[in-house]
Copies of this chain bind each other. A is one copy, B any other.
């Protein structure tokens, strides 16, 4: 039975991560996590006719590799949680057409993978499920087309822009009683984000819009658990980029006197080699934090190199038209504590 501590939900059954996988595009494959991807797709369309179906294919690949790493079949999954940035979450919905797993579609913009892991762990803790999965994806070309300009237009990104990752991550989770190696990562606590809007209007500076949401969730998480940042090996946000990271750290310092230096890392700055790779102030997109978590963080937890990671998935909840209508950018951050012995 889940237990509430302040705004935090503790999961005493400690759902276990049985396997995970990340896949990426060419540029992501050339980044520092490239060798950790289960598959790298050199061709941006993945053999499909359009960017949307290419992203769907990307997500299917991540799920297939994750299932394999967990020695699990699609039919063994009781419920799948996932989402993406495309209108009406079509990358997810079309990906699941061939898998026949029940689907709970989620949307929290780039915080969707964190929300998926949180809901997956909660479902397992409820006792009604044996194995569940979580996945999320984004595709640079699909996102540019939908949110900014057609690629053919050759638009220059602004200096505050984050690059939407062509990537997907997927994880298979089982009940706490399931055996999965000594150091298998376990989801032990979760926290759900609130919509925070501090009035940022610039859709090309989403790290700035999301930083206050990340801080709101971190603040509530630390208060609920009565812990401090240094009680964690890593606080991973995904994805604030360089500007959002600076603002997030400044908020923690100013509002609570907390120094996050050293313990805080950001998915948006881990996926690419900057400034060698020209990705603005870092990576973004739902697939970015999903891929960083599945290619890097979960394996390091499994290897015993990390033991306690608080993953704060941040999302900017705008649409392509809301900024054009003069709206500010509401944001959210969902949190998942992942531990290994």
Q: Which one of A65-73, A188-196, A261-269, A305-313 is at the B interface? A: A188-196
Total interface residues in chain A, CB < 8 Å: 62
In angstroms, Cα B332 to Cα A296, docked, is 34
Q: Mark A107-125, 1 if CB is under 8 A from B, else 0.
A: 1110000010001001101
Copies, count: 2
Q: Residues of B contacting A89 with CB < 8 Å?
A: 107, 317
A103–B332 CB distance below 8 A: yes
A98 to chain B, nearest CB (A): 9
A109–B88 CB distance below 8 A: yes
A1-B126, A97-B330, A105-B108 known; 8 other A-B pairs, CB under 8 Å? A3-B127, A52-B319, A52-B321, A88-B322, A99-B195, A100-B194, A100-B195, A104-B108
Q: Residues of B contacting A122 with CB < 8 Å?
A: 122-123, 126, 128
Q: Which one of A77-85, A152-160, A248-256 is at the B interface? A: A77-85
A97 touching B195 in the complex, CB below 8 Å, given contacts A52-B321, A107-B88: yes
Q: A2: CB under 8 A from chain B? A: yes
In angstroms, Cα B103 to Cα A192, docked, is 7
Q: Residues of B contacting A50 with CB < 8 Å?
A: 325
Q: A204: CB under 8 A from chain B? A: no
Of all chain B residues, the one with the shortest Cβ separation from A317 is B93
